[in-house]
Amino acid sequence: MSSASVNTRVNTADGGAHVTHRPLGILAALPQELGDLIEAMRGESGVRTITHGQRDYHLGTVHGAPCVVTLARVGKVAAAATVSALIHEFDVEAVVFTGVAGGVATEVRVGDIVVANALLQHDLDATPLFPRFEVPLLGMSRFAADAALAAQLAAACERFVAEEGAASAARFGTREPRVHRGLIISGDQFVASAVAVKALRDVLPDALAVEMEGAAIAQVCHEYGVPCAIVRTISDTADDHAPQSFVSFLTEIAGTYSNAILRRFLEARRAG
């Protein structure tokens, strides 16, 4: 374990110490996707920031939960490097990724929320040597999110929708959010055409949403046996309108959703 650990150590009667809480790693690609999480940490416990590999890792307590919060930046390599540091330098017990995604399935609309059951790299193709999408030598194309963590995250999303969904929809001019569970696909492309999103739908008919980090996080977590869960709010439908829709959703809405979901998720973790 590194010196950057934020584990809580409790002194016992015999003078020993044991670890009670390893921190949760929370990350997003872009600052807008994290909402006010670091500010909330500053107000609650204060923040210790450690810079490692050109990323700032913020250590403290948020909504009662010891956390390490950071920004991965964009793409699968950035995400893999960041989650690897969370695991090795900060000894996180689990990882939660929050952010936005493009809707792929026709029933997944802007303002909806998708919690991954599984993740796949849609741009990974070592055919004919290996089946399309399969990670060579690992023999896997789909990486499962941790079932319990994903269920807790989805429950937090459902509570958000029940308590604030109608008000959010009215405020942001979106439809009342729906929560979906299923496959999220990741690749090093921003998908922004009707042709491209249809091609993804055709080849991966159960894909709900597309983004650029989640499957890399899920693969690294799988390889190190660390539970992970991914939640994405739909900013666009990965078609020709995606760039404008993405930018306005990111700047105006993403943080509000993230705050609302993570607060409920972390408070329930503390209570549970």
The site for ligand ADE (CB under 6 A) is made up of: 100-102, 190-192, 210-212, 235-236, 238, 242, 246
CB of 246 to ligand ADE, least distance (A): 5
Residue 210 or 261: which CB sits closer to ligand ADE? Answer: 210
CB of 79 to ligand ADE, least distance (A): 12
Q: Give me the catalytic one of 33, 89, 112, 134.
A: 33
CB of 268 to ligand ADE, least distance (A): 27
CB of 206 to ligand ADE, least distance (A): 18
Is 91 annotated in the active site?
no
Q: Give me the catalytic one of 39, 236, 240, 267.
A: 236
Residue 204 or 238: which CB sits closer to ligand ADE? Answer: 238
Instruction: Determine the Cα–Cα distance for residues 236 and 255; give it in Å rounded to an integer.
Output: 15
Give me the residue whose beta carbon is nearest to ligand ADE.
102
Residue 29 or 68: which CB sits closer to ligand ADE? Answer: 29
- β-pairing, 179-186 vs 142-144, is unpaired
Is 213 annotated in the active site?
no
CB of 101 to ligand ADE, least distance (A): 5
Residue 122 or 264: which CB sits closer to ligand ADE? Answer: 122
Task: Give a three-class secondary structure readout of the chain.
Answer: CCCCCCCEEEECCCCCEEEEECCEEEEECCHHHHCCHHHHHHHHCCCEEEEECCEEEEEEEECCEEEEEEECCCCHHHHHHHHHHHHHHHCCCEEEEEEEEEECCCCCCCCCEEEEEEEEECCCCCCCCCCCCCECCCCECEEECCHHHHHHHHHHHHHHHHHHHHHHHHHHCCCCCCEEEEEEEECCCCCCCHHHHHHHHHHCCCEEEEECCHHHHHHHHHHHCCCEEEEEEEEECCCCCHHHHHHHHHHHCHHHHHHHHHHHHHHHHHHC
Residue 28 or 210: which CB sits closer to ligand ADE? Answer: 210
Catalytic site residues?
33, 236
